[in-house]
Amino acid sequence: MKYFQFGRLEKRIVVFFVGLLMLVQLAGFLAISYVIEENARRNLREELNVGAKVFKRLLDQKEQQLVSATIVLTRDFPFRDAVATRDGGTIVDVLKNHGDRISANRLALVDMTNIVAADTIQPDLIGKKFGFPDLIEQAAAKKNVSAIRIIDGTIYQLVIVPVMAPAPIAWVVIGFVIDDATASDLKGITGLDVSFLGTAGSQPPSVLATTLTADIRANLQAQSVGLLATAGKSASVVLGREEFEILATTIDRYPTGFGNGSVFAVLQRSVNEGLQPYEMLKLALLLLGVASLLITLIGSIRIARRITRPVRQLALAAREVAAGNYGEPIILEQDDEIGELATAFNNMSIGLTERDQVRDILGKVASPEIAEQLLKQKIELGGEERDVTVMFTDIRNFTALCENHPPAVAIGLLNRYLTLINTIVDAHAGVIDKYTGDGVMALFGAPIGRADDPERAVLAALAINLRMRQLASELLQEGLPNPDVGIGVNSSRVVAGNIGSPSRLNYTVLGDGVNLASRLESLTKRYGVPIIVGEATAAQASKLVYLELDKVRVVGRATPVRIYQPMGKPEQLDEVRRDLVARHHRALALFRARSWNAAEDIFRTLRPISGYTSIADVYLCYLADFTLTEPGENWDGVFTLSDK
Amino acid sequence: MEIKHRLAKNYTMRALRSARMGLAAMIVATPSIAAQISIQVTEPGGVAVAEAVVYASVISGTALAKPKREVSIEQVNKEFIPLISVMQTGTSVNFPNRDKVRHHVYSFSPAKTFEIKLYSGVPGKPIVFDKPGEVVLGCNIHDGMIAYVLVVDTPIFAKTDKRGAAVLDGLSAGEYEIHVWYPGMPASALPAPRKLKLSATDAPAITFAFNAKTQNPAGPKPSQGK
């Protein structure tokens, strides 16, 4: 079924070739048919003319033979003897007897005064003038004569010779009937249908002997007047339903005797019969035409398929490629242009695959957004200032972990961590900037900035911490080490862009705030908390609950910064935590207001709470220091940190 | 034409013979006082017609009786000689065959029908031509052979010579009808007979003119086989 479904191009190719062939063949067929028909008709006419000559020659020969036979007959001594008796009965008998010897149909004896002395058919003519005195005159002049005449509706070949004794004493008239059998004989030799027509008086000519069938004979009879008018020339005539080439010739016209009369011969050849061999030729041509049409049809379909099928295949493949599916290469066992196209297409596909792979890898090694950015924009060195929240994560003691485990396990573990972090960063619309060993640097707000970048960054940090704790319990069950994670988050104005050399560069962000984020990550160890966010971040992601850890001046930075531990969304906090945050902030306020003892009481009270111990220790440590040397009058509650 | 040609060809021989015979007749017959008719036969243009038969039938008076004779019609070189004969009724005719081949002489003419089957030499019995009329002779094995015999009921007959002249002589006074006859021609094509009254010493000359060329279509066949 599919074989008969055509594409447009295919249909066009097939229709064109088949149509062209049909047109050419039709034209050829018509031309050949015309030539054949013309030729056939000319041949027919030629045959007819040759046949007519043969026919005349045959009539002459027959006449000669009959004359000779008749002369021999009349020279027979007993015949002459019998004729000389002038006894009617004897004469008729000898006429019949001798006539039979030469198969004559009718004999008559005419005396020298043109009176019929005997007639084998019509005895009533005896004593009357002989019907064709013109023939007797001719016989007298030529010693014998032969003519084709009509007597009583029958055509005879009449032969008239004198009875010599040895001077002529009478005329013997011998008649040979020309009937259908005679016509048939003539047809056998000439190959033409032969008809003898005769008129007597003013009667229309009638067909007296013929080889034609009754039907055609009747038609010939009906058209005889018109036909005989063109005697001597061949003509195309339709008799009944058949077409004939016809040649009518006048055999004799005579003014006297049994009424003035004429005898004609009509020779004809059936056009259909004549064209029969040519019809076979036409049929052969037709068959040849049909065969070549079929071959062309099949051939053109195949050729069209050879073009369109691979084209369709290529189109389909191209669509797949456009959709990003690089399947198997197209294999066409054609070493023509289509084959070349397929090869080119495959090469293109491979090229695209490679590029896509590059893009994919780029997406993996950079991050999809950065890769996108890189691909979209003209890659050039330099950058722009943006507000970006940067997050640094670090797995604590990963190096020590590596030492105690095989590299494969260590790498596997690392990848689990990194995958986890990556997933969460992605989920919060962050971008991984780079991996630094076991650490991750993620950006929120570059390359594309959004209003809630700080909040998402903090939520991501919380989520990482949560997932890390879950992972830690999983790892514990697996008997694997479960190191903690430290996360630093800070928001600031940074320079974002491609940094490196023209041949090798990175998209990244640079700035003081970035360094601070890294410092904050490091500070998590000091305060024993998983996450520390900077002042700017906490201010911008103000919907969350924070626990202010400290106010510090980090290394390399003159400006002090408040640092916070995010506690989560307000609704997610339980009573204990909320209470903790409130009491801590009260303690911190007392601390900063130099109410050392009150502050110490609270810190000591809160110290046993899980996750707070390290913070309490930091402040108890501060208080211990202050008991030794109280801070100056202008102490602003800032601690300067000396190490990273 | 043919007949004239043939006549001319054989003329010399026959002329010699008839001269001889004429001479004999003149010697035998008494050159007495008798009437004679000189006849000239010509074609309308004046050309002489030789070998035409002229004869006179007696209407009143007595004809000078000519003795009945035996005549011969010979066959020489497959030809009848003479070609044309005229004779009185009752004349016996011999048909001596001078050729080495046989002949089969026949006549189907009503005046005398006979047949002498293949023979050589002289047949034993002569044929008596006992009825007046034209007798055409032929040979059954030589279609070209033909001879004409006119049998008349009168002893007064002659044939024209080369110049178309003939003389009927030995006529006594009386009334005669003069006929001319030419072989193969129907009576209608021949001049009508002339009636003449003669005294014993008359010697009139008469002329017949007819077209011997325009013969009856059934005229004699040309001689063949010479």
Question: Does the interface ipTM go beyond 0.90?
Answer: no
Contact between residue A430 and residue A443 where contact means Cβ atoms under 8 Å apart: yes
Handedness of CA A526, A528, A531, A533 (dihedral sign): negative
Q: pLDDT (tens digit, 9 = 90+) per residue, A463-513?
A: 999 998 888 888 888 877 777 889 999 999 998 888 888 778 778 888 889
Is-cis flag, bond preceding A133, omega within 30? no
State the average pLDDT over residues A596-622.
90
Interface contact flag, A166 B148, Cβ < 8 Å: no
Predicted pLDDT of residue B3 = 57
Query: pLDDT grade, residue A302 (50/70/90)?
Result: confident
Compute CA distances A363 → A254, A369, A374, whole Å. 122, 8, 10
Predicted pLDDT at A4: 52
For A157-166, what is each residue's pLDDT tens digit? 999 999 888 8
Instruction: Provide the mean pLDDT of chain A.
Output: 85
Are A564 and A546 a contacting pair, CB within 8 Å?
yes
Which phi-psi region, left, alpha or beta, contains residue B65 (left: φ > 0; alpha: ψ -120 to 50)?
Answer: beta
Cα gap A498→A369, rounded to integer Å: 14
DSSP-derived pairing of the beta strands A154-164 and A145-151? antiparallel
A79 to chain B: nearest residue by CA? Answer: B108
Separation CA B108–CA A170 (nearest Å): 11
Nearest to B218 among A81, A86, A140 (CB): A140
pLDDT tens, position by position, B64-85: 666 667 899 999 999 999 999 9
- Most confident stretch, A9-23, A86-100, A245-259, B95-109: B95-109
**Inter-chain Cβ pairs, chain A and chain B, closer than 8 A:** 52
Token pair belonging to A628: 């030794």
pLDDT 10s digits, A563-590: 999 999 999 888 888 999 999 999 999 9
Residue B221, pLDDT above cutoff 70: no
CB atoms within 10 A of CB A495: 17
pLDDT of residue A545: 93
Reading the block at residue A115, the tokens are 């009176």
pLDDT above 90 as % of chain A: 20
Indicate whether B1 pLDDT > 90: no
pLDDT for A389 beyond 90: yes
Count, in order, helices (H) and strands (E) of chain A. 17, 19
Q: For residue A535, is pLDDT > 50?
A: yes
CA–CA min distance B37, chain A (Å): 32
What is residue B194's three-state secondary structure? strand
Q: How confident is the model at residue A110 (pLDDT cuts 50, 70, 90)?
A: very high
- Residue A257 in 3-state DSSP? coil
d(CA A5, CA A305): 11
Quick check: A84 and B218 CB within 8 A? no
d(CA A63, CA A57): 10
Task: Check CB contact of B221 with chain A, cutoff 8 Å.
Answer: yes
pLDDT at site A455? 93
* Residue B173 distance to chain A (closest CA, Å): 38
Condensed to tens digits (0 to 9), the pLDDT of residues B34-69 reads 788 999 998 888 888 888 999 998 888 775 666 667
Residue B149 has pLDDT above 90, yes or no: yes
pLDDT over 50 at A313, yes or no: yes
What is the distance in angstroms between the Cα of B218 and the nearest Cα belonging to chain A? 5
The answer on pLDDT for B31 being more than 50 is: no
Res B4: pLDDT: 53
Q: What was the pLDDT predicted at B14?
A: 47
pLDDT, tens only, A241-274: 888 888 888 888 877 555 578 888 888 888 888 8
- Among candidates B189, B188, B109, B196, which has minimal Cα distance to B146? B109
β-pair partners for B133: B151
CA dihedral over A129, A131, A134, A137, signed as positive or negative? negative
Across the interface, of A80, A81, A168, the residue whose CB is closest to B218 is A168
Cα separation, A101 vs A104, in Å, equals 8
Whether B6 shows a pLDDT value over 80: the answer reads no
C-beta neighbour count of A35 within 10 angstroms: 10
In the stretch 121-140 of chain B, residues with CB closer than 8 A to chain A read 136-140
CA distance to partner chain B, nearest, from residue A274 (Å): 50
Cβ–Cβ below 8 Å for A166 and B143: yes
| pTM for this model (two decimals) | 0.55
Contacts of A80 in chain B (CB under 8 A): 108
Residue-level pLDDT at A334: 75
Residue of A nearest to B139 (CA): A166
Residue in chain A nearest B221 by alpha carbon: A167
A219-235 pLDDT tens trace: 888 888 888 877 778 88
